[in-house]
Structure 1
Amino acid sequence: MKTLKGPSIFLSQFITDKPPFNSLESLAEWAAGLGYKALQIPTHLPHIFDLAKAAKSPEYCAEIRAMLANVGLEISELSTHLQGQLVAVHPAYDAAFAGFAPPELAHDASARQQWAVNSLKQAARASQNLGLNAHATFSGALAWPYFYPWPPRNEQLLDEAFRELAFRWKPILDSFDEAGVDLCFELHPGEDLHDGVTFERFLALVDNHPRCNILYDPSHMLLQHLDYLGFIDHYHARIKAFHVKDAEFQTSAKSGVYAGYQPWIERPGRFRSLGDGQVNFKAIFSKLAQYDYDGWATLEWECCLKSGDAGAREGAKFIADHIIPVADYAFDDFAHHESDVSAVRRMLGLEG
């Protein structure tokens, strides 16, 4: 059995233009001071982490690792959530996602998509240079505007959307395979890969690619009313990254899972800081230990009530307290004794 690693923290929600949140070095010092052991680093901000340089320069990667080690940290994963989103964008969302790419590409959907693909391939090489074995991303979406079956479900449209998605991602998955790194899709509403069924559909179309894996985030599953514990039983072999994020769903007479276009604070379903929601993390950490998950447990803080500073401070202890140091022997080993075939047959009453 294996003990998972943690706590790690995803930096995206904490980066600002003010110290200590405006450089990787000062963010590292802040996170280490809270008790974190690793950082999940976004790669769309060159002043925080220069992805292009990391893909080309093992020396730059060694400098980053040394700087983090100096405060007792390492990197859990790199993240390309924004770039992954741009691998596949339905025209309805073209303007909404334009800001995810460099400004000069804002009005050129084809150039944005190519930039995103190149960024993912750079992330594969950068992860290899950093000695990482997993990477976090989004799948993007072509079919998402049609997620509700009205007008009536169009199977040909869905088939074509998933074939195209697989076509775009297959070369990226191959790049991650060459780098020896697992590509982990965060299953998330708004992405074509948002639950087990959509992941399976995509996985089949990329020929069960060994690098096609899952970033497990139970908050998105709770808000979709998925069995997030049973999900681990089904997909544990593909779970290679883990966002520790809480959520709650309070049944309302006025609004449901689609939330009525309301702001987060007024939705029936909303994200919460760790321990303030409804996710059963004791059971999750137990199942991950049962299935030998040995990756990182990474805080992703998103809460419409509690401050990020409080969420990060409390989150480090929450994760540390939930990590199960797995046993290296069975509790009843003291009563175990070996038997030969003859003894076993006598125990079964098969020999006199």
Structure 2
Amino acid sequence: MQLGYVSAILPELTLEENLAFAASVGYDCLEVMCWPPGKAERRYAGVTHLNVDTLTTAEISRIQDLQQQYGVRISALGYYPNPLVADEAEAKVYTDHLRALIDAAAALEVFCVTTFVGRDKDRTIEAQWPRFLATWRPIVAHAAAKNVRIGIENCPMRFTKDEWPGGTNLAISPAVWERMWADIPDAHWGLNYDPSHFILQHMDYTLPFRQYPERMIHIHAKDARIDVEKRNHHGVFSHPNLWHTPKIPGLGDVDWGRFVGYLRETGYDGAVCVEVEDRTFEGSLSKRQAALRQSYAYLRPFVF
């Protein structure tokens, strides 16, 4: 396995500066954010460390040379919009950019894209299933043609007033994943799996990779802490931010020794990328870099 981090937490650094910082800490890889340049729509979004819309042959060579220079590879090109948003014109902007990411991943020989399936939060899963299929069948087919694998993150995306109550991601549970894979049975797509989202949902966070090892394309290392007293006060159907806090690895409820032990037994040998969404470390660039250093020191004995 290779230990890396998600570049969204260091938006003010360039791609080369991120690669240099990753190398200085000891990280093996980097999930590189590839949003279209512009204003961020939410925290950790809108980060462009690699602009796929202006990717020339010379730039591809430069990026490949940088990976060799610093000894840090790009594990995936990341972009996390809502391709099933109610406004179909807006959704097309997202799906068009996803296709551009797939093309870029093939050109860069990264062969992995990480993203969200999306969801219309005001409609049931059943009601929007035909649109899900119409949107994702051609995207997955395009990825297969380019030999690129798509890792779908399992975050419920129910954390802001704009995402409440249904969330903006369908791919939140094994029941939904199984239906997706049955209806689009292509090996070029699976999970960018994050255990913290199963902590939120009170589910066994080791079951997904034990049950679907062939669908593990990429892994996020993020922790979460449940405040049991606050949960008991507000209830599990209240807003998650009332009793749920994202943390860096080792400061939440994930047993990382158990997690990586099971993951290793399944034969997974891909990237495990730290995703920092811990507000404790967000005050400055130096604090966010400290979060990545601390996460590295904690996880490296497990991930090697």
- What range is the shorter-chain TM-score in? 0.7 to 0.9
**Aligned-pair CA distance for 1:235:** 1.5
C-alpha separation between the residues in 2 aligned to 1:26 and 1:323?
24
Structure 2 CA distance for aligned equivalents of residues 256 and 30 of structure 1: 42
The residue type paired with residue 179 of structure 1 is K
The aligned residue for residue 37 of structure 1 is 28
Q: For residue 224 of structure 1, what is the aligned residue in structure 2?
A: 201
The equivalent of 2:163 in structure 1 is: none
Q: Which 5+ residue runs of structure 2 have no aligned equivalent?
A: 38-47, 157-166, 282-286
**Equivalent pair of 1:259/1:269 in contact (CA under 8 Å):** no
Residue 80 of structure 2 corresponds to 81
Give the aligned partner of residue 136 of structure 1: 114
Answering whether residue 151 of structure 2 is matched by residue 184 of structure 1, we say: yes
Which residue identity does 1:41 align to in structure 2? V
1:295 aligns with 2:270: yes
Contact 1:58 1:130 in 2 (8 A): no
Identity of aligned residues (%): 22
8 Å CA contact 1:274, 1:311 repeated in 2: no
Q: Write the deviation string for residues 174-203 of structure 1: whole angstroms up to 9, x where unpaired.
A: 111011111110011121111111111222
Quote how far apart the aligned CAs of 1:45 are: 4.5
Q: In 2, Cα distance between the equivalents of 1:158 and 1:75?
A: 34
Task: Say yes or no: does 1:124 pair with 2:108.
Answer: no
TM-score (norm 2): 0.85
- Aligned to 1:305, what secondary structure does the other structure show? helix
Quote the residue 1:15 is aligned against.
11
> 1:81 is paired with a residue of what secondary structure?
coil
Larger radius of gyration: 1
- Between 1:278-287 and 1:248-257, the stretch displaced more is 248-257
The reply to whether residue 172 of structure 1 matches residue 139 of structure 2 is yes
Give me the whole-angstrom Cα distance separating, in 2, the residues matched to 1:9 and 1:222. 20
Matched, 1:163 2:130: yes
User: Is 2:286 the partner of 1:311?
Assistant: no
- Partner residue, 1:271: 246
Distance 1:117 1:220, change over 3 A: same
Give the CA deviation at 1:40: 0.5
Structure 1 gaps of 5+ residues are: 91-108, 147-156, 325-352
CA contact (8 A) 2:200 2:226 kept: yes
Deviation at 1:123, TM superposition (A): 1.0
Residue 242 of structure 1 corresponds to 219
- CA offset at residue 64 of structure 1? 0.8
1:205 aligned residue: 183
CA RMSD in angstroms comes to 1.9
Q: Give the Cα separation in 1 of the matches to 2:204 and 2:32.
A: 29
1:48 maps onto 2:49 in alignment: yes
Structure 2 match to 1:66: 65
Shift of residue 31 of structure 1?
2.3
Structure 2 residue aligned with 1:283? 258
Equivalent residues, number:
276
Please give the alpha-carbon distance, in whole angstroms, between the structure 1 residues aligned to 2:91 and 2:125: 20
Aligned-pair distance for 1:25? 1.7
Show the 5 A alignment for 1:144-163. Answer: 144-145=121-122, 158-163=125-130
Offset at 1:232? 2.0
